[in-house]
Every structure is written in C-alpha cells, then in structure tokens.
Amino acid sequence: MIRTIGGIEKPHACCIGRPQRIYVTAGSRRCEDFRRTSYNRLSSVKLLEDADSIGYDPTTKYLYIDTGAMSIRPIDAQRRRHDRGQNCDIKIDATLLRRWLSRVGPEIYVNNKAKNQVDVIDGTTGSSRQLARHQADNVAIAFDETNHRLFVACRSGQIVVFDTQTGNGACRPPITRGGRYDV
C-alpha cells in the first residue's frame, strides 16, 4: 500500500479520471474528487444515497455514477457538477449491478441483474437497448474493446462472453459457482 485516503464515509467505488484526479463515490451521498499526487480533497458533488460504481469517459470528460435509484447520473468532471438539468439521469428499467464504459464510443454496458440481461445505453442521448439476454445470475462484467467481447460473470457457474457487435453469445466457460466475482 502506498497511501490511504481517509475521511470518506462509506466508500463504495473509485476511478482514475481526468489527469491527476481520483474520484470516489460514497454511501454518504457524495462523489469526492482528490488530487492524484497529493491525495488532497478538491471538491465534492452531492448524490443520492447508495451511489455506487463510477466510470470516467475521457472523450466527454463526464463521470457516470450508478445512483442506487435505478439510474446513472452524468457529472461534468471539469466543472464538478451535475449540470444537464434536474431530470437528466439516465433511467434504467431495473436495479443495475455493474456497468462498463466504452473508451471508443458513447456506449455504457449495463449489467441488468434483475432481468438477467446486458443493456447498452448511449451516454450521449440516454437511449437504451438490450444487447443480450441470458439465463444466469450475472454479477460482474468486463469489456475487451479491441475484440468486441463483453464478459459477464455469473453466480450460476459460468462466464457468458458476448460479441458486442452482434449480441451473440461467443462462449460460456465454467467458473466456480456462487461466489462474488470481479472480472
């Protein structure tokens, strides 16, 4: 361990964003912004309770934060505020578990656990579509953008691999059943 950042009530997730920034979501309804070199707190943005996973889009310079209220909240990381209007949260039709931001396009891949499916949201327009549906208890996702493959770990004992261009399942290799997974 190099350093600990203290004083964050109920930290949930973190990501490296803009040059020299670390963003941390906290169950205390905040997104904290820290300088990456000194670990000094720079600012804080108010969120909903149970804000969870967070991702940074270097193209738009927006943070996308799972709100805990069936939506994703875009935050302007440069101005450190939620400024697309009060009703600009991207609504999700179920509680989401994990999501993955594409680094080459506006896509946000959402692990929709309640429906056992993966949804794709356009981070620019907020429109969504179903990428793939499967019969498994999905818990975590990872994305190989080069090969257009989305990996979905499932408590049912498999990783479902999808081709993100077609939505077809590429393969389903077995993994240990029931655990908590990060891919």
Sole residue written with tokens 């979905």: 152
**Tens digit of each residue's pLDDT (9 = 90 or more) over 158-171:** 888 888 888 887 77
Q: 103: which residues sit within 8 A by CB, 6+ positions away?
A: 58, 145
- Ordered alpha helix ranges (H), the chain: none
Longest Cα separation, the chain: 46
The H or E element that residue 141 is part of is: strand 138-144
Tell me which amino acid residue 112 is: N
The domains found in the chain, sorted by start residue, are 1-91 (2.40.10.500)
Pairing of strands 90-91, 128-133: unpaired
Q: What is the pLDDT of residue 98?
A: 61
Could you give the CA distance from residue 44 to residue 9 in angstroms, rounded to a whole number? Answer: 13
Q: Is the pLDDT higher at 116 or at 5? A: 5
- Residue 31 CB neighbours (<10 A): 25
**Tens digit of each residue's pLDDT (9 = 90 or more) over 118-131:** 888 887 787 888 88
- Residue 173 CB neighbours (<10 A): 9
Q: What is the pTM of this model?
A: 0.75
Percent residues over pLDDT 90 in the chain: 4
Q: Looking at the predicted structure, is the pLDDT value of residue 31 above 70?
A: yes
The encoded tokens of residue 120 equal 């794709």
Contact 81, 62 (CB under 8 A): no
Q: Looking at the predicted structure, is the pLDDT value of residue 85 above 60?
A: no
Could you give the CA distance from residue 39 to residue 16 in angstroms, rounded to a whole number? Answer: 12
Q: Looking at the predicted structure, is the pLDDT value of residue 67 above 60?
A: yes
Q: Looking at the predicted structure, is the pLDDT value of residue 100 above 80?
A: no
Contact 176, 157 (CB under 8 A): yes
